Structure 1
Amino acid sequence: MKLFKPLYEKALVWAKHPLAERYLMGISFVEAFIFPLMPEIMLAPMTLGKPERWARYASLSLLFSTLGSIIGYLMGHYGFELLRPLLDDLGWLPAIDGYVAKLRGLGGWEVFWLLVGGGFLPIPMKIIAWSSGIVGVPIWAFLAAMIVGRGKRVYLLCGAIRLGGEKAEQTVHKWIEWIGWGLLALVVLAVVYFKFLHH
């Protein structure tokens, strides 16, 4: 079943649209808390089409991703509270509260580096935002980590496309299905490891 290539090809069409920058801002914003399509797949063709604007595209994506991550943070914070009765009925609440207490015990800079490190992993921003809201990560540490974590991704990608040109984009297009499923598998493995195997 092909999932990521059709999404990528749709993003290629959006990237050539006169309103491409607005699409990029919208996807970057919504992806940070719910949308499954990463803004990086629009950044590549947009940068290839207008390489001199690579820094502008990366900056727009970063700005709107950061704004969207605040929504994700609030969803995690308030959504978790709404689900507490259900989690209690399932018997999961004591264990979850234990993990939350441990994370809340970390200092601001410990949290910051933990989140920045998470930005280097193939974990969707929305997962990091939700989790940060659930545990009550200090908002300044959360936002700083989001800027650093997402910033290095978008600037490195746009910079690489700027330097690599059309060949780099063609490579991404050719392997996007494998890349997408591979990243999804890594996320599932990470969840299984931390939920069932890590003590």
Structure 2
Amino acid sequence: MKLFGPLYDLVLSWSRHRHAPRYLAGMSFAESSFFPIPPDVMLMPMSLARPEKAMYFAWLTTLFSVLGGVLGYLIGMWLLEWVWPLIERVGYAPYYDVMVELFAEYGIWIILVAGFSPLPYKMFTITAGATGMALLPFIIASVIGRGARFFLVASLMKWGGVKMEPFIRKWVEWLGWAFVLVVFGFIAYKLL
């Protein structure tokens, strides 16, 4: 089943649009609180297409991802009961329980790691608010974790340039499904 190739092509077309930075900012904001597609899929082709602006795109992605994370934090803090049926409907309820355990065990470190990792960051932002994590450490850890991730992605694209695009296109389907397996494997490991 080809899922990630068509998504990659769609996002690639968005990345060439004159309003692409706005789309990137919106996607980055939304992904940190409710949207399922990570902004990397737009950051990568934009950084490939305009390597001279790659660091600007990384900064934009980081800023709006952290702002979206604050929205996720506020959702968890004030609206968890209201959004709980949606969390259950999309199958995230068991993951939420795992997140609560991770927060109890690792605290701020879990935000740092989640910000950098391919795990669904939105679940961590909502859980941070729901568990009453202090907002300032949450923001600092988010800036460091998300920034490290997005600046790494943009730097690799800038460094690799156009010669990386055929590699990404060739392996996008495998990389996408590998990402899904890693996320579900981690969650299954924590649930067991």
Coarse TM-score class (shorter-chain normalised):
0.7 to 0.9
Name the SS of the counterpart of 2:107 in structure 1.
helix
Partner of 2:57: 57
In the TM superposition, what is the alpha-carbon distance from 1:183 to its structure 2 partner?
A: 1.3
Q: Unaligned stretches of 5+ in structure 2?
A: none
In the TM superposition, what is the alpha-carbon distance from 1:170 to its structure 2 partner?
A: 2.2
Taking every aligned residue pair, what percent have the same amino acid on both sides?
A: 38
Answering whether residue 14 of structure 2 is matched by residue 14 of structure 1, we say yes
Partner of 2:161: 165
Q: Unaligned stretches of 5+ in structure 1?
A: none
Partner of 1:31: 31
In the TM superposition, what is the alpha-carbon distance from 1:79 to its structure 2 partner?
A: 3.7
1:74-113 equivalent positions in 2, closer than 5 A: 74-82=74-82, 83=84, 100=100, 103=103, 111-113=107-109
Out of 146, 154, 166, the position equivalent to 2:150 is 154
In the TM superposition, what is the alpha-carbon distance from 1:102 to its structure 2 partner?
A: 8.5
In the TM superposition, what is the alpha-carbon distance from 1:101 to its structure 2 partner?
A: 8.5
Name the SS of the counterpart of 1:165 in structure 2.
helix
The 2-side partners of 1:39 and 1:28 are apart by: 5
User: C-alpha offsets along residues 16-69 of structure 1, whole Å, 9 cap, x if unaligned?
Assistant: 111111111111111111112211111111112211111111001111111111
Q: Normalized against structure 2, the TM-score is what?
A: 0.84
User: C-alpha offsets along residues 77-106 of structure 1, whole Å, 9 cap, x if unaligned?
Assistant: 33434459xx9xxxx9xxx6xx858845x7
- Aligned 8 A contact 1:7 1:37 in 2: no
Q: Partner amino acid for 1:34?
A: F
The 2-side partners of 1:171 and 1:77 are apart by: 42
| Pairs aligned (count) | 181
Q: Normalized against structure 1, the TM-score is what?
A: 0.81
Distance 1:25 1:102, change over 3 A: closer
Answering whether residue 176 of structure 2 is matched by residue 180 of structure 1, we say yes
Answering whether residue 136 of structure 2 is matched by residue 140 of structure 1, we say yes
The 1-side partners of 2:156 and 2:185 are apart by: 28
